[in-house]
Amino acid sequence: MTVVTLGPEGTYSHRAAQAIGDDIDFRQSVTAIVDAVASGEYDRGIIPIENSIEGSVTESLDAIAEYEIAIVSEVVTPINHALLAQGEDFETIASHSQALAQCRSYLEETYPDATLEAVASTAQSVEYAREDPSMAGIAHPDNAGDGIEVIADDIQERSSNATRFFAVAPAADRSPGGGKTSIVAYPDVDYPGLLLELLEPFADRNINLTRLESRPSGERLGDYVFHIDIEAGLYESRTEEALADLEKLAENGWVRRLGSYDTQHVVE
C-alpha cells in the first residue's frame, strides 16, 4: 500500500500514517496530498482533520469537499509537543499553525518576546532549527538528535491533546462498511429553520452526530457547506433513508457521501 502524508519525516501525520502502510512519501500541504490520491498516484493519503484543543484543520475540510475521494479510515493519536532547538539562544519559534495554537499559553508565559512563525509542518520547523541556532521548533520529542535537543516537553495547553486523521483513498475504494460515515452537504438555499431540517433526518432515526461543521461555500458571504459525521454506516437502511431525506432538502445543491469507516487508536 502506497501512502502519502505531510512531510518531512517525523510529523504527527507521518506517525499516524504508519498505522496505514509502510511505503510512505511526503508532500508539503494537505491539498497536495488529497490531489495526489484523487489522481490515483497513491493508494492512501493521511491528513489531519481535527484537534481536541484547536478544532478543525480547515484546509483538510475544504480539500475533502472539493476532490473526488473516499474516506476509508480514521486514526486518532495523542499529541505531545516538545520545544526543540540547538540550545537556549533562539529568537524565533516556528511550527505548524495548529501546534503553535495548541501551545499558546506556554509560549506567551515562557517566551513572551519570541517571534512566532507558522511553517508547513512540525517536523519542518525542526529542520529549520537544525540549520539555524536562532530558531526553535515545536514537534514530537522524537525529532530531537543530530544537533537538536528537547528544551521543554509536554508544552501543549492540556495533557489530553488528541488529533483525528483521515485516511483518504481514490473514490473507487469507497466502502459502505464501518461504524462512522462522513457526509458533505451543500443545500444552496437559505431560509429560517434550514439547519434544523437538515438534522431531523438523523434525529428521527436515532443516528448520533459526532461532528457538524460549516465551511464557507466560497460562493457568497453567509453561504455554507456542511460537514456531517454520523455514528452509523452507509450499509444501514436507516442511513440510506436519512440521506434520501437530506438529498431532498439539498436538491438545489448537492450531497456527497465520503464513505464509511472504523476508528483506529494509535497510542504512541
Q: How far is the CB of 34 from ligand PPY (least distance, A)?
A: 14
Nearer to ligand PPY (CB atom), residue 6 or residue 225: 6
Buried b (16+ CB within 10 A) or exposed e, 254-267: ebbbbbbbeeeebe
* Residue 12 found at the interface with ligand PPY (CB under 6 A): yes
Site string for ligand PPY, 163-182 (x = CB under 6 A): x-------------------
- β-pair type (224-230, 180-186): antiparallel
43, 154 contact by CB (below 8 A): no
Buried b (16+ CB within 10 A) or exposed e, 89-100: ebebbbbbebbb
* Residue 30 found at the interface with ligand PPY (CB under 6 A): no
Please identify, among the stretches 117-125, 182-190, 211-219, 255-263, the one whose residues bind ligand PPY according to the rule CB under 6 A. 117-125
Q: How far is the CB of 249 from ligand PPY (least distance, A)?
A: 34
Q: Give, rounded to a whole angstrom, the gap between the first and last alpha carbons of the chain.
A: 22
* Residue 100 found at the interface with ligand PPY (CB under 6 A): no
The Cβ of residue 30 has, within 10 Å, a number of other Cβ atoms equal to 26
How many of the chain's residues bind ligand PPY (CB under 6 A)?
A: 14
Q: Whose grid coordinates read 450499509?
A: 235
Q: How far is the CB of 39 from ligand PPY (least distance, A)?
A: 22
* Residue 79 found at the interface with ligand PPY (CB under 6 A): yes
Binding site for ligand PPY (CB under 6 A): 6, 11-13, 48, 51, 79, 96, 98-99, 121-123, 163
